[in-house]
Amino acid sequence: MTDSTRTTSEAKLFTPSASRLATLFFSDLIDVGRFEPSSPANLPPQYRDLLAHNEHMTVALESFHKSPVSVEALAEWRDESSYARCSLLSRQADGAVVQFGMMRIWLADLPAAAQEEIASKKSPLGRVLIDHNLLREVELITLWEIEPGSVLRQYLQVNGKTPVYGRTAQILVDERPTVQLLEIVKL
């Protein structure tokens, strides 16, 4: 069975893992940070607002920061059926980085125009899916408290002692698990 014929019942095979996504770009998850599962109740309120929901992070970040966000691709990875990207999202208002993330997407589940726009790296993934009016559902998988490793210290400009917070999620397009996400936010 090909990735493009996945069903919702097979979603568990494709459920995002912070480690699987990170190792597409880095030698080990520890390069990104030490991840501990968390619950909404254990997140600081502003992080809970940003992460503990089943919505696109693009929308949540733009609402929270009162600014559209731009994407900067740091690295890309491809195989015969999927495309992955490690990227930063920044506020357009002042250029401040507000998210470090990784995504893996099964392109065959999307129309050609959406695939091209994603590959152009001009808009965040959430904005592309919304603008193309694709039937989509975001599923929160795990909330994380993260002790920043060298990657997060570099890209989010944080120290290694103060935790940051993130989530793994997946996006279903037309009820098929199509996108795996690791999203780590900075206030």
Q: Nearest-5° angle of CA 185, CA 14, CA 102?
A: 25
Per this entry, what is the length of the chain? 187
- List the one residue out of 138, 130, 120, 20 whose CA is nearest residue 72: 120
DSSP string, 69-108: EEEEEEEEEE-SSEEEEEEEEEETTT--EEEEEEEEEEGG
- pLDDT score recorded for residue 176: 87
- Structure tokens of 94? 């002042």
Helices (H) and strands (E) in the chain, counts: 7, 7
User: Mind listing the pLDDT tens digit for each residue in 85-99?
Assistant: 999 999 999 999 999
Question: Would the pLDDT of 8 be above 70?
Answer: no
- The CATH number, out of the four listed (2.130.10.10, 3.40.1410.10, 3.40.605.10, 3.30.420.40), of the domain defined by the range 3-185: 3.40.1410.10
Percent of the chain with pLDDT over 70: 91
User: What average pLDDT score do residues 49-76 get?
Assistant: 95
DSSP 8-state code for residue 103: E
| pTM (predicted TM-score) | 0.89
Residue spans per domain, the chain? 3-185
For residue 90, give the amino acid letter. S
Q: Helix or strand or coil: residue 48?
A: helix
Q: Residue 140 and residue 138: Cα distance in Å, rounded?
A: 7
Question: Would the pLDDT of 5 be above 50?
Answer: no
- Structure tokens of 8? 């919702």
Percent of the chain with pLDDT over 90: 73
Question: Would the pLDDT of 6 be above 60?
Answer: no
DSSP 8-state code for residue 81: S
User: Mind listing the pLDDT tens digit for each residue in 13-43?
Assistant: 456 889 999 999 999 999 999 999 999 999 9
Q: Helix or strand or coil: residue 64?
A: helix
Q: Is 144:17 a contact under the CB 8 Å cutoff?
A: no
User: What average pLDDT score do residues 58-81 get?
Assistant: 94
